[in-house]
Amino acid sequence: MVRGCKLSAYGDNEKLLREYQKTKDIELRNQIALKNYNLIYIGIRPYYIAGIHDKEELEQEGFIALLKAVENFNIEKGYSFSTYAISYIKSITRYRLDYNTDTSLDESLKSIEDEKVTRLDLLEDEKADVFKECENKDIISNIKILLNDEEIELIKLAYIYDLSYREIEKKIGLSKTQIGRNLQNIKIKIKGCRQFKEYKEQYYQENEISYLKATNFSVDKTTKANNKDPQIWATLFAREKREKKCMKNFMKDFKREIRAEYKNKP
């Protein structure tokens, strides 16, 4: 279970938010997010299932959503920041779990909503990328080795026909918890395959992060050790963004290949 949380007094939220709206200062944005960190746990709690979801990943997603909430909040509209931020975090968390994707700091909630509508178009996108240089056809033949028949049937339902957990539950009789766990296991297997490792290596080479300041990234982001230097924040988010974008792009191509292979087969 996500660790307990209780709303505390958030101090000078209004003053800080008004100042941020005027200055758009990154350090001030980070300070506001850190003061409201507990909102993350409230936002992700309805969707977190122990043993299926990675709590740290959801917290990272929630923190990025919280930063975006600070950026987009309009104090003049009269509603509370906590209500706005929790709603923002919930929306992004629900979308991430529904569609097995990740958000990044440069994505707005509107772009995420737009992507829901156009996700099938994205799967058909013919834009050249490194996956095609990593023998994209090989992954289909290797999938038959990596996955059993039940797992292949599950990815057909989830990735080809875009069925929800509830719809899959009705078709194959597994609970939503079992479906979530099985899809996570499939993703782990895919991340362990040779094609993904080749893809990741080349993707990282083509998307190098120029500044990697020496810092302890194992330290919690809310500690004073890591929350003062804007460059540390920028580097941390760049690393997280690159890792998530790598997996997101790979999964898009994987789903496209799966569609091409199985769409017209029984």
Q: How far apart are CA 142 and CA 137, in angstroms?
A: 9
Q: Which positions ≥6 away from 165 have C-beta within 8 Å? A: 176, 179, 180
Residues 101-116 have pLDDT tens digits of 444 444 444 444 444 3
Q: How far apart are CA 177 and CA 77, in angstroms?
A: 39
With left for phi above 0 and alpha for psi between -120 and 50, is residue 251 left, alpha or beta? alpha
- pLDDT attached to residue 93: 78
- pLDDT attached to residue 112: 44
The domains of the chain are located at: 13-121, 125-262
CA distances from 129 to 87, 111, 117, 121 (A): 35, 22, 23, 16
Residues 213-242 have pLDDT tens digits of 444 444 444 444 444 455 556 666 777 778
- Segment among 113-122, 155-164, 170-179, 211-220 with least mean pLDDT: 113-122
- Segment among 6-15, 43-52, 73-82, 164-173 with least mean pLDDT: 6-15
203 pLDDT band, cuts 50/70/90, is: confident
